[in-house]
Structure 1
Amino acid sequence: MSESNSVNLLHIGVCTSDLSRSVKFYTEALGFTHEREVGEIGAPFDQLIELPGTTLKAHHVSLGGLRLELIGFDQVVGSDERCPMNRLGFTHITLTVDDIDAVCERITQYGGQVLSHTRIDSPYGPIVFCTDPDGLRVELMQPPTQS
């Protein structure tokens, strides 16, 4: 008898303070594709997320093989301050871009922040950290052009 141990990534969940703003940021500033609105979710998922009686709304957006589930609650906890890179847990997503300056402009236009002091020129091309409107780090990398 064959035993399957297949594990595949479905999505990464991101709690947002303003769901529609985050959908707009990821689709219009970063080029994600809006896949679907999940709608309002309550029981039995309130047990799964350990928030009894809570409902949430969600949208799925994707880019390449990455799918984010952007989640909106009536009340969120925490701060929109970006976490230090050496804090345990999820630290950032990295995206390659054709024009780092143009993407940085869109990030600012759609409520994110460009951390200009982090910009470096590396053997992999220019790299800079930015944040989404809720402080989640987004690393942009512009690979060198091949000639």
Structure 2
Amino acid sequence: MLRSIHHVAIICADYQRSKAFYTQVLGLRIIAENYRAARQSWKLDLALPDGGQIELFSFPGAPARPTTPEAQGLRHLAFAVDDLDAACARLTRHGVVVEPVRVDEYTGRRFTFFPDPDGLPLELYEAG
């Protein structure tokens, strides 16, 4: 029945800061950007390289994430990369703090975590 993930929705605290992070630091392309006056909310649709999307929302007064990374609900969002070292270097150049690279004990693949501007845990997973 299910084919793929179409999109992941993220609510941010500072819309301009998060927009810059996802477009300039992570390099995602903007599909559409709309201000929804009735909700006092921005909605930014971003294209992932595999055809999926990230929807970035701003909502006034949205509460912060309670804990990281072990709160109930979505634990983290992982992105596949071909070259983990190059991806980490790009993030570091943009001032993003990247955790030390680890190796998945089951697959032998390298991965690391880093936060988005709101502390949402994001992962880079070296796909091969």
TM range (shorter): 0.7 to 0.9
- 2:44 matched to which residue of 1? 59
Which amino acid in 2 is paired with 1:131? Answer: P
- 2:112 matched to which residue of 1? 128
* 1:98 to partner: Cα distance: 2.4
**Structure 2 residues not aligned, in runs of 5+:** none
**Equivalent pairs: percent with the same residue?**
29
* 1:10 to partner: Cα distance: 4.4
Which amino acid in 2 is paired with 1:137? Answer: P
- 1:30 matched to which residue of 2? 26
Classify 1:41/1:113 alpha carbon distance in 2 versus 1 (closer, same or farther; 3 Å): farther
Q: TM-score of the superposition, structure 1-length normalised?
A: 0.69
* 1:31 to partner: Cα distance: 2.5
**Structure 1: how far apart are the matches of 2:89 and 2:2?**
40
- Once the two structures are overlaid, the 10-residue window that deviates more, 69-78 or 58-67, is 69-78
SS at match of 1:57: strand
- Please identify the structure whose Cα radius of gyration is greater: 1
Classify 1:39/1:129 alpha carbon distance in 2 versus 1 (closer, same or farther; 3 Å): same
**Structure 1 residues not aligned, in runs of 5+:** 43-53
- 1:100 matched to which residue of 2? 84
- 1:83 matched to which residue of 2? 68
When the two chains are superposed, the root-mean-square deviation of aligned CA atoms in Å is 2.7
Number of aligned pairs? 125
- Once the two structures are overlaid, the 10-residue window that deviates more, 25-34 or 128-137, is 25-34
* 1:34 to partner: Cα distance: 0.8
Q: TM-score of the superposition, structure 2-length normalised?
A: 0.77
